[in-house]
Amino acid sequence: MTTTALPAAAATETVAPVKPKRQRTVGANIGIALIVVYCLIPFYWMVVSAFRRPEDQFSNLPVPWPISFRNFLGVFGQGVGFGRSLLNSLVVAGVTTLLTLIIGTFASYALARLEFRFKNAVLAVIIATSMFPVISLIVPLLKLFTNNLHWINTYQAMILPSLSFALPLAVFNLTAFFRQLPFDLEQAAMVDGCTPGQAFRKIIIPLAAPGVFTTAIITFIAAWNEFLIALSMVNQKQMQTATVAISKFTGVSGSGFDQPFGTQMAAGVVVTIPLVVAVLVFQRRIIAGLTTGGVK
Amino acid sequence: MSTGTAVAKRVTRRHDEGAGRLAAILVSPTMAVLGLVVLYPIIAALYTSLYQKNNGVNPKTGIVEQGDKFVGLQNYTAIFSGDTASTFWTAFGNTSFFTVVNVVIETAVGVAMALVMHRAFRGRGVVRASILVPWAIPTAVSALLWRWIFQPQGAANALFNSQVLWTADGTPAKVAVIIADTWKTAPFIGLLVLAGLQTIPNEVYEAAKVDGATGWTQLFRITLPLAKPALLVAVLFRILDTLRIFDLPYVLVGPHKDSVNTLSMLAFDEANNIRYGPAAAYSTVLFIYVAVVAFLFVKILGADVIGAARSQRKAAPKRNRAAGKPEAVAA
């Protein structure tokens, strides 16, 4: 894009020695291949290890052969409670995302469209809160939830602290998205006879929906991947989220190994596949959201 | 781009009392929630860090005492000079070490990735999808994945024909954490830097070429300086993220390992053992450390974090088009 995209006329007049186009393309293609391999190989290894027979756990074959689903059966076996953990993750991440979107949409709309005093201060506060270390928030909240509210092992004990990182992330993303909306269209619609309500419903909401949807995905992934809060606020197996449950897996693989890596990898695949599918389907939107947001 | 500025101008004109009141109503729920889940805990942590749990019988009165007792700055003096001082300084050192080393490596790899992606025509869709995979995987799961790869009988030792105990303790454990962290976050930096690169107009390169600038000169005199704002924000967020690193060393190596213990892990451990006072003191120290680093970074390097949010207006329409049409990205 930098040099090769130049028109041929400009290229011929250059003084600087330019490598032949073909050579550059080959180099870039090799680079691209390296990036893809770098990103996917460890993930591929997780999938491969998940599909091995438990007794083949330490095999280093690049493909799982003979293929086996016993690790997955182990994950969802009786007494493991992984299904419940997935449900817990879904509830915590889902409610966090929903609350965040409801609260955050108002603030983002104001930050994107209205000019008011302290606007920069509000933005600064929101960005600053996303930088605070989660552990600094957990210690006092843990004390409060344990001694006063008796919220340990409840969903709200995980959802409320999760808002601390989800809300700034969502507001930041939504504000960037809302700024791109063509609000002139809304005016035009009103000139053409729409009421403000109709203009908002028929023009703004449909245009804002993709941004809200993207923010929902990014927020959900962030909340789904959360570990420290869920680890701190819960000490009952029944209430563990999936990320915590996986980290605490202890042998059900029947393979007799100290640590059931096959089962863990299978659980990892189960937890990750929905995210990877979402990422593949919505990659363009997610990248647009991530790069405008600038926050993880 | 013209519509963006037009909107901006029109919005500025609407700077009146009504807008202010509406804004206050719209913004207050967010501020209230942040006050509850961020501001309150920070103040509560300061307060808690001045107390310790009573244990057992008061020698003067002979009564069994419960609850907390005020101990002033004792929790803090214990951190810096007490029995646990060496644990603290180890964790402090590890946290700082990971922050410097990880962020430097991740930035270098990320920038290299961005430059490659920026130049490539084919395979953009594939690379974009694959670069999001490490980002989407939960850190705890990626830590387990790398723990598996770094097992004594795992893939890493098989690949290098070595017999290193990666996840035990010591330097190999540090290296394992660095590798795993780089894998997960370098692509993300690459993504942010790529977005910065795409805002550089082609005319700049054309002019440079006419003036006889070579590829390397272009890279260091044009590309990197112009991508600097995007890069600085990405680096700042990575620094702050690494300062609070917890999931990765905790799952990949485990708690109570000197070589990878971090400040977050230390505070978590104290809180987990219901020693809220010392835990709050540790987390407050970490909080101050993060705040100081962020302040210095913004002051010295001039990372315009709010500006990054504000200036989206200019870059936004271009990116919107790119998001809408696949060809626009590839061309």
| CB B107, CB B189: distance < 8 Å | yes
Question: How far does Cα B320 stand from its chain's mean position?
Answer: 26
Nearest CB neighbour to A114, from listed B22, B38, B264: B22
Task: State ipTM.
Answer: 0.85
> Counting Cβ atoms within 10 Å, is residue B304 exposed (0-12), middle (13-18) or buried (19+)?
middle
Cis, peptide link before residue A66, omega less than 30° from 0: yes
Calpha distance A283→B6 (Å, rounded): 30
Give CA torsion, residues B283, B288, B290, B295, to 10 deg. Answer: 170
Calpha distance A173→A166 (Å, rounded): 11
Residues of chain A with C-beta less than 8 angstroms from the C-beta of B179? none
Contact A139 B129 (CB under 8 A): no
Q: Which helix (H) or strand (E) holds B261?
A: none
Contact A286 B132 (CB under 8 A): yes
3-state SS, residue B181: helix
Residues of chain B with C-beta less than 8 angstroms from the C-beta of A110? 22-23, 26-27
Q: What is the pLDDT of residue B155?
A: 86
Calpha distance B71→B83 (Å, rounded): 17
Average pLDDT over residues A93-113: 93
Q: Which residue has the higher pLDDT, B230 or A142?
A: A142
Q: Which amino acid belongs to residue B197?
A: L
DSSP letter at B221 equals: I
| Nearest chain B Cα distance for residue A183, angstroms | 7
Q: Half-sphere exposure (CA, 13 Å, Cβ side) for A94? A: 7
Contact A109 B26 (CB under 8 A): yes
Q: What range defines the domain where residue B127 resides?
A: 86-330
| CB B271, CB A137: distance < 8 Å | no
| CB A262, CB A255: distance < 8 Å | yes
Q: Which amino acid belongs to residue B119?
A: R
Domains observed in chain A:
8-73 (no CATH), 81-248 (1.10.3720.10)
Q: What is the pLDDT of residue B316?
A: 39
A12-26, A29-43, B240-254: which range is least confident on average? A12-26
Calpha distance B259→B90 (Å, rounded): 8
For residue B75, is it within any domain? no
A279: contact with B, CB 8 A cutoff: yes
pTM strictly above 0.80: yes
pLDDT tens digits along A71-83: 898 888 877 889 9
A247: contact with B, CB 8 A cutoff: yes
Q: What is the pLDDT of residue B323?
A: 39
| CB B7, CB A186: distance < 8 Å | no
Residue B52: φ, ψ to 5°: -135, 160
Q: What is the pLDDT of residue A204?
A: 80
**Hey, what long-range contacts does B152-160 have (CB within 8 A, 24 or more apart)?**
B153/A58, B154/A58, B155/A45, B155/A60, B158/A60
In angstroms, the Cα distances linking B92 to A290, B178, B263, B283 are: 31, 16, 6, 12
Contact A133 B215 (CB under 8 A): no
For residue B236, is it within any domain? yes
For residue B156, is it within any domain? yes
Calpha distance B222→B239 (Å, rounded): 25
Q: Which helix (H) or strand (E) holds B263?
A: helix B263-272
The length of chain A in residues reads: 296
Give chain B's domain count.
1
Size of interface A-B (CB pairs under 8 A): 374
Query: Predicted confidence band at A9 (pLDDT cuts at 50, 70, 90)?
Result: very low
B222: number of Cβ within 10 Å:
17
Q: Which residue has the higher pLDDT, A78 or A170?
A: A170
Q: Is the pLDDT of residue A276 over 50?
A: yes
For residue B26, is it within any domain? no
For residue B77, is it within any domain? no
Nearest CB neighbour to B286, from listed A6, A136, A290: A136
Q: Which amino acid belongs to residue A64?
A: P
3-state SS, residue B194: helix
Calpha distance B323→B307 (Å, rounded): 22
Beta-bridge partner residues of B70: B51
CATH number at residue B114: 1.10.3720.10
For residue B34, is it within any domain? no
Nearest CB neighbour to A280, from listed B20, B129, B241: B129
Beta-bridge partner residues of B52: B69
Q: What is the pLDDT of residue B304?
A: 67
Give the pair of three-digit tokens for residue B319.
Answer: 């990116």
Q: Which helix (H) or strand (E) holds B125?
A: helix B124-136
Calpha distance A294→B234 (Å, rounded): 7
> Mind spelling out the 3-state secondary structure of chain A?
CCCCCCCHHHHHCCCCCCCCHHHHHHHHHHHHHHHHHHHHHHHHHHHHHHCCCHHHCCCCCCCCCCCCCHHHHHHCCCCCCHHHHHHHHHHHHHHHHHHHHHHHHHHHHHHHHCCCCCHHHHHHHHHHHCCCCHHHHHHHHHHHHHHHHCCCCCHHHHHHHHHHHHHHHHHHHHHHHHHCCCHHHHHHHHHCCCCHHHHHHHHHHHHHHHHHHHHHHHHHHHHHCCCHHHHHHCCCHHHCCHHHHHHCCCCCCCCCCCCCHHHHHHHHHHHHHHHHHHHHHCHHHHHHHHHHHCCC
| CB B308, CB B232: distance < 8 Å | no
H helix count then E strand count, chain B = 18, 2
Contact B132 A31 (CB under 8 A): no
For residue B13, is it within any domain? no
Provide the residue-wise pLDDT of chain B in tens; the chain has 331 residues.
444 455 544 544 445 667 788 888 999 999 999 999 999 999 999 999 998 887 666 666 666 666 788 888 888 988 888 778 899 999 999 999 999 999 999 999 999 999 988 887 777 788 888 899 999 999 999 999 999 999 888 888 888 888 888 888 889 999 999 999 999 999 999 988 888 888 888 888 888 888 888 888 888 888 888 888 888 888 998 999 999 999 999 999 988 889 999 999 999 999 998 889 999 999 999 999 999 999 999 888 876 666 555 544 444 333 333 333 333 333 2
For residue B63, is it within any domain? no
